[in-house]
Structure 1
Amino acid sequence: MQVDITGHHVDLTDSLRDYVQQKFIRLERHFDNMVDAHVILTVEKLDQKAEATLQLGGAKLFADAVSGDMYAAIDALIDKLDRQVKKHKEKLTDHHRVEGLQAKAAGGDLEE
């Protein structure tokens, strides 16, 4: 997955870039079909804002977080994206019991 990081009114240090990269590795654990991510880190007066657009295979997710500390904003952003990725993955998984019912119907004659 390619992660693009942009800063508005903030200097992007190597430690900040590494921190964002490490956090996005956490998201790849849950869903490996991620294509692209674009992260924007912004400073507006006393607020530190982190927002990201995550492109998955077939979906586009967006989240943002505001905090007094940039690292806390990134943590909150990743938590929000993590929940969205899990929800998207659940939607892709078929949870119906059709297979189990078919197997039970086919094997039902063995009990007699």
Structure 2
Amino acid sequence: MNLKITGLNFDVTDAIKNYVGDKLERINRHAANVISVTVTLSVEKINQKAEADLHLAGKDLHVEAVEQDMYAAIDVLMDKLDRAVLKHKEKSGDVRTARPNVTE
């Protein structure tokens, strides 16, 4: 998995890089086919914004979160990303396991 963390109007420290990396471990447990993740952290006046673009095999997911604290924004972002990955996994699994009902 390729991980790219960028900051807009914000210096990304090693502590934040490690925090994002630790949180992404949970995403890797749910989806083994993650190709790359781009996390963009930005500061807009009072609000802290975190965005993530996740490239899976066959699907791209974009999630964003806005909070008062950067660590809280990252936490909310990872929760949303986890739900999106699980939803994608359920949808893709349903197509393959669904069997047509044939009545004779």
Q: Fold conserved (TM > 0.5)?
A: yes
Which position in structure 2 is the counterpart of 1:96? Answer: 98
Gaps of 5+ in 2: none
Instruction: Give distance in 2, aligned partners of 1:96 and 1:61.
Output: 24
Which position in structure 2 is the counterpart of 1:44? Answer: 44
Aligned CA RMSD, in angstroms, stands at: 1.4
Of Structure 1 and Structure 2, the greater helix share is in: 1
Which position in structure 1 is the counterpart of 2:70? Answer: 70
Could you say what secondary structure the match of 1:11 adopts?
coil
Instruction: Give distance in 1, aligned partners of 2:98 and 2:4.
Output: 38
Q: Among all aligned residue pairs of Structure 1 and Structure 2, give the percentage whose two residues are the same amino acid.
A: 51
Which runs of structure 2 are paired with 1:3-42 in the superposition (5 Å)? 3-42=3-42
Instruction: Give distance in 2, aligned partners of 1:52 and 1:37.
Output: 7
Q: State the shift of 1:97 in Å.
A: 5.8
Instruction: Give distance in 2, aligned partners of 1:54 and 1:24.
Output: 11
Instruction: Give distance in 2, aligned partners of 1:10 and 1:83.
Output: 27
Q: Which has the larger radius of gyration?
A: 1
Could you say what secondary structure the match of 2:37 adopts?
strand
Amino acid at match of 1:7: G
Matched length: 99
